[in-house]
Amino acid sequence: MITIQELLFNRNLDKSAKIKLVRHKQVGRDLYNLYRTDRPAFLAYQNSQSKDVFNGVDYIVSFIGEDGLLSRFIGVYKLTDRKKLAGDHFEYQMEEVKEVFDDLKERVIIKWENAISWHQWIKNEMEVLEIHPGLHYKQFTDYSDFILNFHELKEIVTKQYGDWKKMLSVTKGIYLISDTKTGKLYVGSAYGEDGIWGRWNKYVSTNGHGGNKTLKELITDDPTHGNNFQFSILMLLPRTITADEAIKKERLFKNKLGTNSFGLNNN
C-alpha cells in the first residue's frame, strides 16, 4: 500500500512541521469546477473558516471530496498569517508550495479515512488508490453519465484520450451546453462523419464558441468565458440519420428547453 504521506515526504515535505490533511466537500456545490474555473474564489473559500481549525498549523495538504470517500489532491499550502474576524470566524493567508508537487495535482486520488472529520493531522495514514496519467480525471463510462466542463473537454480532445474518442466518434446526437455563469442553455446537434467527437472538437479549437453567433459574441467580449461551459448529451441519434432529421430533433429540444427565447440559440 502506498500512502499520501509517502508521496509527500519523499518530495521533502517537512516531517517535523505541523501538517493537516484537508478534504473540501459541500453539498450542492461543485468545488472542483470552482477550483478549475475560478481559483481565487476557491482559495477564498479554503482560507475562510468558521472555526480556528488551522491554528498552529504550518501546512495543509488540500483535497476535494468526490464520490464516497474518494478525494483528489490539489496541492500543498503553507500558512503565513491568521486573523480572527467577527464572531468565531477566522481568515488565513496561505501560499501554495509549487513546482515540487505540481505534477501530482489533480492526478492523485486517495481514500479518505473517517469521513466525518474533514481535517485531520497528517499522522493519519491514507491510501493512494490511483495516480492518473496526465490529468485523465474522468474516464468514459456511459453516454448519459457525464457532464464535462470546458477544461475537461479540452484535455480529452487535445490529448486524444482513446476511450472518449472511440465512443464519441461513433455516435451522433443532440447535446447541451450549459453556461454556469448565466444559467443559459444552448442545444446543438452532431450528425457529421465524426459524430459528437468531431463537433465538440470544433468547440475546443475555437475557444468555446464552435462557430455559433451568440457564443462567439460571449467569447469575443471575454476570451475566458468558455471556461463556464459544461457539455452533456441529451439524446443519441442513429448513425444513419440524415441532416434534416437531426436538425428536426434539435429543434424539438430547443422548443422543450426554450433556448431560442431564453437561451443561447439564435435559430
Which pLDDT tens digits describe the chain residue by residue (267 residues)? 899 999 999 999 999 999 999 999 998 888 988 898 889 999 999 999 999 999 999 999 999 999 889 999 999 999 999 999 887 899 999 999 988 898 889 889 999 987 789 999 999 999 999 887 665 446 788 898 899 999 889 989 988 888 899 999 999 999 999 999 999 999 999 999 999 999 999 999 999 999 999 999 999 999 999 999 999 999 999 999 999 999 999 999 999 999 999 999 988
Cell numbers found for residue 127? 491510501
Give the pLDDT score at 159.
81
Cβ–Cβ < 8 Å for 176, 249: no
Grid coordinates given for 218? 460571449
Core vs surface per residue 214-243: b (16+ CB within 10 A) or e: bbeebbeeeeebbbbbbbebbbebeeebee
Domains parsed from the chain with CATH numbers: 4-131 (no CATH), 148-257 (3.40.1440.10)
pTM of the shown model: 0.56
Check residue 134 and give its pLDDT. Answer: 60
